[in-house]
Amino acid sequence: MFWSESYAGKASAQNCIDSLKKNAPGAATADLTKDEKGSGYRFEIAGSKDGQTFVRFVASNGETMVRTETYKSKSSSKNAIASLQKNGPRAEVVDET
């Protein structure tokens, strides 16, 4: 559902996971398709060139931490956010290296 950049080391990847688990549950959502603004840790619903939407989780410094695939409906983007907020903190981490 969500994926991140490729990290050079496990520690950086683990920091991203830890930050998501801590900050995503209470993060606000800014719908950029409605010109909403956000600050701090937040989800952003953004529009793609083909009229679909996708979600980014953005750190307080403005850096995108993870994003989703594109969805045909905005409700699917909102469902992705709800799922990460609910399930993320308890999600198992599997090291596939």
Give, for all 97 residues of the chain, the pLDDT tens digit: 898 888 888 999 999 999 999 999 999 999 999 999 999 999 999 999 999 999 999 999 999 999 999 999 999 999 999 999 999 999 999 988 8
Helix boundaries (H) for the chain = 10-23, 74-87
* Residue 10 is assigned to a structural domain of this protein: yes
* Residue 77 is assigned to a structural domain of this protein: yes
- Domain limits at 16? 2-88
* Residue 95 is assigned to a structural domain of this protein: no
* Residue 78 is assigned to a structural domain of this protein: yes
Q: What CATH number corresponds to the domain at position 18?
A: 2.30.29.80
Binning the chain into helix, strand and coil, the percentages to the nearest 5 are 35, 25, 40
* Residue 96 is assigned to a structural domain of this protein: no
Q: Is this prediction's pTM over 0.75?
A: yes
* Residue 61 is assigned to a structural domain of this protein: yes
Distance CA 52, CA 58 (A): 19
Establish how many alpha carbons lie within 13 A of residue 51's alpha carbon, considering only the half-sphere containing its beta carbon. Answer: 1
Domain count, the chain: 1
